[in-house]
Amino acid sequence: MSVVAGLDCIVAITGLAFEARVAGCVTVVSDGDRTPALLQQAISSGVRGVLSFGVCGGLSPHLAPGHWVVASAVLLGRESHFPHQQWSQRLSATLPRSTQGPILAVEHVTSAQNKPELYARTGAIAVDMESHFAAKVAAAHNLPFASCRVVIDPAHRRLPPAALLNLRPGGAIDLRAVVQSVIRRPGQLPDLLRLAIDAFRAQSALRRGRALLGPTLLVPEA
């Protein structure tokens, strides 16, 4: 978690270390069961809103790597959480190549591997692992929340085994584990290289979009 929050701050929740660096504000990197407590700590001194920020998996076949998704709803099982409408509209109007639609929340990345089935069953256009935390904690503190994410892996692509490995603390990729996975299963290397190209596009879009959002991340005044 980054520096101490304040009344002019937005808490951004991410899943990866590079997302947190791009966010450049008070940031919580998701850490499984500890995530709600980390968010509670981040907002305890008073903040203006909670934003889920970073990359996501594409479920809609119309979304390519680098496309922004602004959540119109966050779906988790039978639960539906609805972002702050005005904030979401501002994000959608500002972020290039953005699409509004439901984001499906999952607890494990492997749960998002059957993308066509998830798209047909839920109607969600993208999937991530953090937006539901933002929604629940924001609701508990009567704060606005929103979710804006960049597609990193499109709907037609399954993630190779090396991309499904657990992250290191703080959301860093475990490069040694990735190399060992490739050595054990070298056939995944072409898919991993394609994912690296898509990740470069997504990171570039994430940085460009973050620059457009400015210091307030467009959160409406209370």
pLDDT digit string, tens, across residues 171-180:
778 888 888 8
Q: Identify each DSSP E strand in the chain by its residue range.
A: 10-14, 26-29, 49-58, 68-76, 79-81, 98-105, 126-128, 145-153
Q: Strand pairing partners for 153?
A: 57
pLDDT in tens, 66-86: 999 999 999 999 999 999 999
Give me 176's structure tokens: 């040694």
- For residues 132-160, give the mean pLDDT: 93
For the chain, the structural domain boundaries read 10-213
Domain 10-213, classified CATH 3.40.50.1580, yes or no: yes
> Which pLDDT band holds residue 4 (cuts at 50, 70, 90)?
very low
pTM: 0.89
Alpha-helical segments (H) within 44-160:
85-94, 115-122, 131-140
Q: For 186, which DSSP code?
A: G
7-11, 25-29, 54-58: range with highest mean pLDDT: 54-58
